[in-house]
Each structure stands twice: as C-alpha cells, then as structure tokens.
C-alpha cells in the first residue's frame, strides 16, 4: 500500500516563525550572548504568567529539577519518591543529589503518580516527593502536599496547567519547567524554576551561577553550577510566551480532531483528562491494547512510520531502564506503569502542523486498525 503522505509528518516540530528569528538577530546585535536583560525579562513575565513570586531561568529542565531538589535540602542518603512514567532526567537528578529515587506506581487513568500509594513508601529517609505532570495533566497534588514533605513538581509538560483552579507554578515548594525544543514554550534548551519560597529562590540564584561581586572582587557563597540561561534562548522563549494562547488554541483543535477521529477504535484509547483541571495539551498519548487493536504498540509505531507519520513513546518506565534496573535489583514491580510503558504512543501534535496533517495521522491510525483487525 502506498503511504498516505509524500513527506514525513514530524512528531513535534517547533513552531518557530519570523518573530523568533528577529528576536534572536536583535539579541545577537545587542551583544548579550550570555545571561542578560532578556533572561531577566523572561523571569519577570513568567512569574506573572504563572502567578508566582519568583521564577529563576536556568539552562535546562534537568538543571531546574536538580537545583530545586538541592534547594529544598535533598542530599546524600535521602530518598525522593517519584513517578516512573517520566523522562529519565527526573530520576537522574535525584541520583546527582546523592539521594535514592523511590518509584511509586501510577494511576491507570492519566499515568500520574498514584497519591494513594505514596504514604506506604515514606520512610524516615524520605526528603521530598517529586510528582510529574504527565502530558500536561496535573498530578493529584493535594494529598501529596498533605504529607508535609517538601514537594518539587516536574512541570516540564505543564507550562499552562492548572490544578483545581490554581496555576501550576505557585502550588508546592517548587515547580520545574523545561524550554526544550518540543515543549509548549520552546527555546531549544532552557528551564525555569517557579517558587513562592524566598529561601528556595535565593538558594537557586546562588547555585545556578557562581556569583560575582563588583569589579574584580568576586566571591561565592556556595560551590555553584554553570546552569544559567543565555539571552539568545530567553529571546526565543519570550516570543513563544507571546504566542502561548494562539498555540494553545491550535493544540486544542488538534486534541479535538484526535478525540473525534479515533473515537470508537477498539483497543485504542486516549489518556483521561480531568475536567476539574486545566490540561496543558502537551502530548496526545493513546494506549494501544493489542487484544482490542489487533496489534501491539510497536507494530502500530512501525506501521505509522511506513505511512510517514512520526510518533514517539512517552515513556518507558524509568525503573526498567538498564542503569536503574542494575543499580536497584529486586525492586517491587510497578504493574500499572509497566503495562502502560508497553502501550503508550504519542501522536503528532504541534502548532506547526495543519488540521490536514493531523487528519493524515488519524487516517493512518484508522488504516492500520482496519488492517490489523482484519
């Protein structure tokens, strides 16, 4: 069978236009290659957008998580409870603090950490809980915060999310965002920590860059990192922030097209989105149950590639990746996460795509479903 398309439909290409290009050019002409006025403006504007007291711009979402954990006091010998359905960086930074990630199973509905399972994992070594807002759906934060431990959120997917009327960014001790190329506010690379805690903001300010004093007399109050954000990237993020609502409308339309176009396909179901929350619509994830869909996720992914439709897998459970598996042998199974890891497939979604692009992706899934179910 001939593929539907003549060119590859990228999974999540960035929506970069002339305004971003002009902003970069202007920044280069200004002479600010490193952290400068645009990074400061991004912090100010993101603090207003997220309705939070402080936003600290850093080099990546990974750096945001690392510094936030250090800032709430995570250190050697501690444990941090987190979700296995995430990008490995979430768990890696726990290791970088000298602490141990304790993986908690997720809910079948939205693949976010299951708050009912967290209390049983708390020990005298537990220093923090690190929930992940998977795909843009906020984790159920209230029962986690009620445990009384510091909470650092992985909000890499949640730049526009809200939890029961409160914007992500001002709810827990710290919320960590990513400006990576695929994210809702994309600069290529970059990250942000949002917090209402003055002490957390100050600690991150001291750690993200070895602090300088006046003139030649510099000093440092801690062994800092090199985790600051360049103005060139901040300039891109500022334009993306201007376009956040326009892009959200496009992503909403793409979600609606998928919801409608894939409805009724046996064995193919989107993740549940909680109507009480604002979903950031970052990833359109379906679960493919081979019993109903006639073939497994990997067969669908290969079939879609043959149709020139790019897809991605979010996520393979982190505790099963070689390094974590070998480092922590004999871990308890996490059945919901493990099953999801074999079933999830993320479909093309981007403000750079047209409705017709998304309709092509839907047609390709339907074509495969018909073939696999025959």
Q: For binding to ligand PLP (CB under 6 A), which residues are involved?
A: 60-62, 86-87, 89-90, 132, 154, 156-157, 178, 180, 191
Nearer to ligand PLP, 262 or 350 (CB): 350
Nearest to 230 by CA among 196, 179, 185, 183: 179
Give the position of tokens 């708390």: 122
Strands (E), the chain: 54-58, 79-82, 100-103, 126-130, 152-154, 162-163, 166-167, 174-178, 191-195, 268-270, 284-288, 344-347
Q: Which residue has the tokens 């537990």?
A: 126
From the list 107, 169, 165, the residue with the least C-alpha distance to 139 is 107
Residue labelled with tokens 């403006």 = 41
Task: Compare residues 134 and 258 and give the one whose CB is closer to ligand PLP.
Answer: 134
List the Cα angle 203/209/215 in 5-degree steps: 110
Helices 198-208 and 61-71, interaxial angle, to 10°?
A: 120
Q: In this chain, which residue has its C-beta nearest to ligand PLP?
A: 61
Cβ proximity to ligand PLP, 87 vs 284, nearer residue? 87
Beta carbon of residue 105, minimum distance to ligand PLP (angstroms, whole number): 17
Q: Which is nearer to ligand PLP, 126 or 178 (CB)?
A: 178
Minimum gap (Å) between residue 355 Cβ and ligand PLP: 26
CB of 64 to ligand PLP, least distance (A): 7
The nearer residue to ligand PLP, 64 or 201, going by C-beta atoms, is: 64
Task: State the burial class of residue 121 (Cβ atoms within 10 Å of its Cβ: 0-12, 13-18, 19+).
Answer: middle
Residue of 127, 167, 183, 226 marked active site: 183
Give the shortest CB-119-to-ligand PLP separation in angstroms.
Answer: 24
Helix (H, G, I), strand (E, B) or coil at 234: helix
Nearer to ligand PLP, 157 or 167 (CB): 157
Q: Is 183 designated active site?
A: yes
Beta-strand relationship, 79-82 and 126-130: parallel
Cis? peptide before 315, omega within 30° of 0: yes
| Min dist. Cβ of residue 277 to ligand PLP (A) | 17
Query: From the CB of 155, what's the least distance to ligand PLP, in Å?
Result: 8
Question: Which sequence positions are flagged as catalytic?
Answer: 183
């Amino acid at each position: 069978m001939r593929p539907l398309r003549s060119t590859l439909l990228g999974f999540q290409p960035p929506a970069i236009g002339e305004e971003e290009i002009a902003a970069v050019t202007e920044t280069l002409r200004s002479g600010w290659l490193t952290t400068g006025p645009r990074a400061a403006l991004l912090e100010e504007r993101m603090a207003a957008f997220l309705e939070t007291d402080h936003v600290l711009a850093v080099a990546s979402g990974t750096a945001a998580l690392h510094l936030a954990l250090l800032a709430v006091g995570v250190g050697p010998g501690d444990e941090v409870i987190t979700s296995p359905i995430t990008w490995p960086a979430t768990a890696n930074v726990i290791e970088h603090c000298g602490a141990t990630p304790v993986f908690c199973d997720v809910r079948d509905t939205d693949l976010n950490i299951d708050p009912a399972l967290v209390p049983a994992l708390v020990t005298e070594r537990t220093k923090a809980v690190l929930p992940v807002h998977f795909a843009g759906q906020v984790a159920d934060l209230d029962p986690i915060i009620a445990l009384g431990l510091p909470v650092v959120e992985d909000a890499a997917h949640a730049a526009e999310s809200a939890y029961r009327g409160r914007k992500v960014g001002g709810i827990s001790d710290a919320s960590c965002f990513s400006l990576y190329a695929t994210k809702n506010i994309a600069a290529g690379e970059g990250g942000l920590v949002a917090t209402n805690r003055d002490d957390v903001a100050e600690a991150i300010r001291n750690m993200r860059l070895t602090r300088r004093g006046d003139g030649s007399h510099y000093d440092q109050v801690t062994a800092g990192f090199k985790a600051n954000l360049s103005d060139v990237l901040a300039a891109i993020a500022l334009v993306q922030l201007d376009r956040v609502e326009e892009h959200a409308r496009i992503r909403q339309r793409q979600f609606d097209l998928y919801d409608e176009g894939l409805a009724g396909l046996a064995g193919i179901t989107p993740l549940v989105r909680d109507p009480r929350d604002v979903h950031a619509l970052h990833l359109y994830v379906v679960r493919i149950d081979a019993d109903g869909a006639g073939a497994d996720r990997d067969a669908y992914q290969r079939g879609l590639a043959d149709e020139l439709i790019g897809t991605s897998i979010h996520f393979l459970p982190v505790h099963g990746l070689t390094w974590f598996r070998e480092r922590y042998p004999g871990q308890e199974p996490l059945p919901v996460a493990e099953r999801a890891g074999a079933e999830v497939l993320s479909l093309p979604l981007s403000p750079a795509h047209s409705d017709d692009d998304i309709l092509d992706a839907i047609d390709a899934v339907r074509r495969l479903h018909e073939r696999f179910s025959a």
